Amino acid sequence: MDLKNYFTTNEIKCKCCGGLPSNDYTEMYERLSKARIQANTLFIINRWYSCKKHNDEVKGVPSSLHLTAYAVDIRCTNSVERAKIVFSLICNGFNEIIIHKTFVHAGIDKKNTVLTLGMEM
């Protein structure tokens, strides 16, 4: 399966400076691509990688997975889409899933083996 073209660099880079992470984020990219294929719905990326400055600006936690591009915020405003997206994320190894009113935050925390599911509506 060729997973190279599911998301563009534009979708990954930091919204404030256009920067990309210095670490390898292949696993994240592949898992997100697989989740998107499984969900069979559009993944509109609000935010993926954030540099430290941008993360501070949006009041992200200091240990935010966005700092390594191991988290994305996927726009989502209706329950059916939300259910499809969250289910496919769990199936593909995402273990930090926070449901917000207009988006789903989805991350892979390799230091944590427990699934964290939360809601901030």
**Site of interaction with Zn ion (CB under 5 A):** 14, 16-17, 51, 54, 71, 73, 105
Element (H, E) at 49: none
Nearest distance from C-beta of residue 97 to Zn ion, angstroms: 10
How many whole angstroms separate alpha carbon 28 and alpha carbon 76?
A: 20
How many whole angstroms separate alpha carbon 106 and alpha carbon 76?
A: 12
Q: Which of 16, 14, 15, 12 is nearest to 33 (CA)?
A: 12
Nearer to Zn ion (CB atom), residue 16 or residue 42 = 16
Nearest distance from C-beta of residue 49 to Zn ion, angstroms: 8
Nearest distance from C-beta of residue 104 to Zn ion, angstroms: 9
Nearest distance from C-beta of residue 47 to Zn ion, angstroms: 6
Nearer to Zn ion (CB atom), residue 5 or residue 27 = 27
Q: Which of 94, 52, 57 is nearest to 73 (CA)?
A: 94
Query: Residue 120: which residues within 8 A CB-CB, separation 6 or more?
Result: 98, 99, 100
Place of tokens 């499809």: 84
Nearer to Zn ion (CB atom), residue 51 or residue 76 = 51
Nearer to Zn ion (CB atom), residue 2 or residue 120 = 120
